[in-house]
Structure 1
Amino acid sequence: MIKQEIRKNIREQKSRLSFQERETYSNLIIKKLTEQREYQRASEVFCYISFNQEVITSAFIEEALSGRKRIAVPKITGDGMKFYYISSLKNLKPGVLGILEPDTRNEEAVPKKGNENLIIVPGLAFDLLGNRIGYGKGYYDAFFGKYKDFSWIKTALAYDFQILPKLPAEEHDIKVDHIITQSGLIK
């Protein structure tokens, strides 16, 4: 199965989820994420803003902010993707792709050398080796390429059906370290 077929298949499966199913699964997934040692030790988290039928991250972001963690969310810019710290979800506005984004007047979040930087990575499909198929724009691969000398803990949140045995992967594709679904930790 080529990447475009996989994307189409997963999008179709996601579109069949009711809002209640997405919310229930998302709550289970977020609970498992917040129980992870890597999350509990992190003072800041880079996290995507959920869009369409992705695992819902808004409650997670609010909880992390109330727990005194610094949260950085992505913004598509002319030269790729940058992360900016936020203090609330209320000030986000739809960006280039229709996804809520922060204001560039916020402080830019740059990973810390010597730290394990926790990042919650979106994607359409994942495999048991940590390979990922994103939405085809390459923003996250380029972001990790820019910060390749930094230590990352890359965690993906996904519904069970988004996990496939093996995905086509290319040398430049960045693998995730952990995948959390409603059934538990996959990797």
Structure 2
Amino acid sequence: MKKAEARKNGLNRRRELTEAERNDFNASIAAKVMDAVSSAQVIGCYVSFRQEVSTHELITNLIRAGKQVAVPKTLPDHLEFYLIGSLDELKPGVLGISEPDHGKVIHPSKIDIMLVPLSSFDECCHRTGYGKGYYDRILPYCRMSIGLAYECQKCDRIETDPWDQTLDLIITERSIYQKQLPET
């Protein structure tokens, strides 16, 4: 499936979820994420916006669990990650997405696990974002990447370009998808 079509389908299906469904699914996804990141110390995490899988409570729970949490600030051509101690440190930024306006910058290579938003995905852990390539540019530096999505965002195999980064895992309310390693 072409990326533009996958992105459109995933966003439309996500938009059709009711608030009650999203709340229920968010709780299930958050519980799976907490298990998946239990041995990590530094977690990179997007700050959810619109109908994305919610990360607000997840970020708070990660901080309470003693994890260092880094969230992105959107710059014109890249994301910069800042360690935060609370969601109270965030202010509305680009497109109204909450982001840090100060603090300690951390390079993505220092982040144990990066939690990534997406608009659609396939069972091989290919993803579409929103078309700007922000995460595709930082994921090569990351030790591990996990996409958070609703099962309804899953689509047939997504056509990829050489610069598209495959995620290590994708967690939905129903499943955990794992990147397929090449056969040797």
Change (3 A) 1:165 1:8: closer
Give the Cα–Cα distance (whole angstroms) in 1 for the partners of residues 74 and 59 of structure 2.
Answer: 19
- Please name the residue that 1:122 is paired with: 117
Q: Secondary structure at the match of 2:38?
A: helix
| Structure-1 residue corresponding to 2:91 | 93
Listed one character per residue, the Cα deviations across residues 144-182 of structure 1 (whole Å, up to 9, x for unaligned) are 35x3xxx51110111111122300101110000001111
Question: What's the secondary structure of 1:90's corresponding residue?
Answer: helix
Alpha-carbon distance in 1 for matches of 2:42, 2:51: 25
Residue 56 of structure 1 and its aligned partner are, at CA, apart by 0.6
- AA in 2 matched with 1:165: D
Q: Which has the higher helix share?
A: 2
Q: What residue number does 2:104 align with?
A: 107
Contact 2:109 2:143 in 1 (8 A): no
* Counterpart secondary structure, 1:152: coil
**Cα drift, residue 184 of structure 1:** 2.2
- Contact 1:32-1:184 within 8 A present in 2 as well: no
Q: Does the CA contact (< 8 Å) of 2:11 and 2:153 recur in 1?
A: no
Distance, in Å, in 2 between the alignment partners of 1:82 and 1:102 is 10
Q: CA deviation at 1:112?
A: 4.6
Equivalence for 1:6: 6
Deviation at 1:57, TM superposition (A): 0.6
Q: Which amino acid aligns with 2:72?
A: P
Task: In structure 1, list runs of 5 or more residues that go unmatched.
Answer: none
Instruction: Determine if contact 2:124/2:177 at 8 Å carries over to the other structure.
Output: no
Partner SS, residue 125 of structure 2: coil
Runs of 4+ in 1 over 3 A off after TM superposition: none
Query: Conserved in 1, the CA contact under 8 Å of 2:81 and 2:108?
Result: no
Unaligned runs of 5+ in 2: 179-184
SS at match of 2:114: strand
After TM superposition, the score normalised by the length of structure 2 is 0.91
- In structure 1, what is the equivalent of residue 181 of structure 2? none
- Aligned-pair distance for 1:68? 0.9
User: What is the count of residue pairs matched by the alignment?
Assistant: 178
- For residues 112 and 134 of structure 1, do their structure 2 counterparts lie closer, same or farther at Cα, with a shift above 3 Å needed? closer
TM-score where L is the length of structure 1: 0.89
